[in-house]
Structure formats: C-alpha cells, structure tokens
Amino acid sequence: MPLLCVAVNAAIDKTYVVSGFQAGGTYRLETTVAVAGGKALNVAKTARLLGVAEVTCTGLVAGRTGDWIRKDLAKRGIREAFLEVTGESREDILVVDPAAGQETRLLEPGVPVEAFAVEALIARVEELAGDSDLVVLAGSLPRGVPVDAYARMVQAIRRRSVRAFLDADGEALRRAVAEGPDLVKLNQAEFEELVGHRVAGPEELVACGRGALRRGALVVTLGGRGAVWIGPEAALLAEAPPVTPLMTVGSGDAFLGGYAAAVLCGDDPPRALALGVAAGTANTLCLGPGVVDLGSVEALRKQIRVAPVGMGATERKLA
C-alpha cells in the first residue's frame, strides 16, 4: 500500500546534546545526530520503520543540503521524487539539554520558491498520487509558496480518488481544511488557533472539532497526554503511557507516521490511534525527529487505552 509524503520545505535536522546549555556559552557537543527532516519526511521515516514497504517523498530540495536529504532517505529505504530549486535546502538545529529537560530550536526559513516551481510541484503531487493509496501533506511553506498551495494539492489528490492527510497551521491550514482532506492532524495549540479560542478538555475539544470538520476526521495530539480522534459520529481518546522524554520535537510527526502505517494496514480508528500514540511516545525516547525503536513502539502500544470521549463507555485496552 504505497504512501506518498509531500515536503514543501524539506530540511536537514541536526540534534545536539549539550548538558547545561545556556545562551552565550561555548560547549563541546556530547552527541550529534543528523537526519533528513521537516514534518513530512519525519512522517515518512516513521512509517517506513513501522513496515510500510513503499514510501515515496516529493517536494522541493536545493543544493548540497538537498543532495544530502536525498541520500539519507535512500539509506532508509525511502524513494524520492523531489523537484530541484535554486539555493540550499534549510538546516535546522535542535539543542537538547537532558540535565534541564529543555529543548532549543533554531529554524531556517527555507529557500525562496518561484511560482513556476509551485505549479510544477502541484502537478507532481497529482501525478504521484495516482500511484499511491495515501498522501500526507505536512509542514511549513517556504517563502514564495502561496497559502492556498495545500488546498490545491488536496484538490489534486481528490481528483485521483486518493486519501489525503494534512498537518499544517495558520492560513494554509484553514484554506486546505475547506477542501475536505480525509484527516487533519493538529496539536492543541494549532487546534485552538483554528477554532479561535482555548479549549478546556477533551469533551470541549470534540464539540469544537466537529464544528471545524467539513468531512473526514480530525486528530488532536495532546503531548504526553495522548491524542483525541474526532469523526462524524464518534470520538476517541487514547492516553499515552507515562515516560521520561529525551526530546519531544517530531513526536507529532511520528504519531502521524504511525497512524498512517496503521491505516494502510487496514486498521480501524482505535487501533490506528493507538499505534500513532505509541509511535509518537517512542519518538520522545530517541534522538532525531521521526526516529523510533520498534521494540519500544510495540511495548508502548500494549499499554495504551482507547475510549470514547464523554460517552461513559468502558475503556478499551488494545492487545
């Protein structure tokens, strides 16, 4: 069951481990990890690790950093069909201080993109969607890419009668949601931005989420608390097992990679939600966004309880 992941703003993600990190100091790095990154590529890496045999990434890359991204994906058994643009793909830095339990992120904006490259990418997405069972659109849009780019990609994917999953924010999210993707994945802050106010708990989240849906389903990840799945007629809460995280960056992407892998295997929403939460939690125990240990994913999945939200039903523990 082929998976296509679209990374408009691909990156090299570098993670540095520095105990006692403070701005203004000089430090020798304890550990350095570099991976192909950006939200869509993190989804792809996780899905591939979880057994999705055919994973392809498309999007925009540039220069030597773009070549590095291609090679890193190839080493992971992930196919690529990127378009080359002028410049250098971005490099993002994550500094992890395990002593303080803090993470510091430095994000480059990405290369400016010309209009013809945007049109070429939308055409490429529609072409590749025809050979896919699921397309994931995820991540920020670099300079020059209009805010309706994801909306147009959802339209293109639906013309091919293929499922589209979306993870975006801001105006790009609002435009794309209006086109009715099959699943929208947000964290709580992104969800509150979408609906325009804070939500007090899962029950209010479900009520607001249904109002925001045009079609399909919505998943809101809640960090270490788990995730809520909202469909047209039901809603589910999966509680994450307690862990001591090493880093949290990329855990939402790992969630979506796990969820997508389960959907491609034919799992129902409770099982897909459980695998997503297990993968997202497992990512917090590893260095590098979108990196999970299979043994940890399976052990965590067995601990996850999935229950209807606000319906008084008995919890369901997935074996």
**CATH value at residue 178:** 3.40.1190.20
- Of 117, 64, 71, 70, give the one whose Cα is nearest residue 90: 64
For the chain, how long is the longest CA-to-CA vector? Answer: 56
**200: CB partners within 8 A, 6+ apart:** none
Domain of 12 in residue numbering reads as 3-317
Give the chain's domain count.
1
pTM of the model: 0.94
**pLDDT digits over 85-133, tens only?**
999 999 999 999 988 989 999 999 999 999 999 999 999 999 999 999 9
Average per-residue pLDDT in the chain? 93
Q: What is the pLDDT of residue 313?
A: 38
The tens digit of pLDDT for each residue in 120-135 reads: 999 999 999 999 999 9
Closest-CA residue to 76 (of 46, 119, 101): 46
How far apart, in whole angstroms, are the C-alpha atoms of residue 220 and residue 228? 5
pLDDT of 212 over the 90 cut: no
pLDDT classification of 310: cutoffs 50, 70, 90: low
Tell me whether strands 235-239 and 305-308 are parallel, antiparallel or unpaired: antiparallel
For residue 316, the model assigns a pLDDT of 41
Q: Centre a 10 Å sphere on the Cβ of residue 87 and count the other Cβ atoms it contains.
A: 17
The pairing of strands 55-61 and 217-221 is unpaired
pLDDT of residue 145: 97
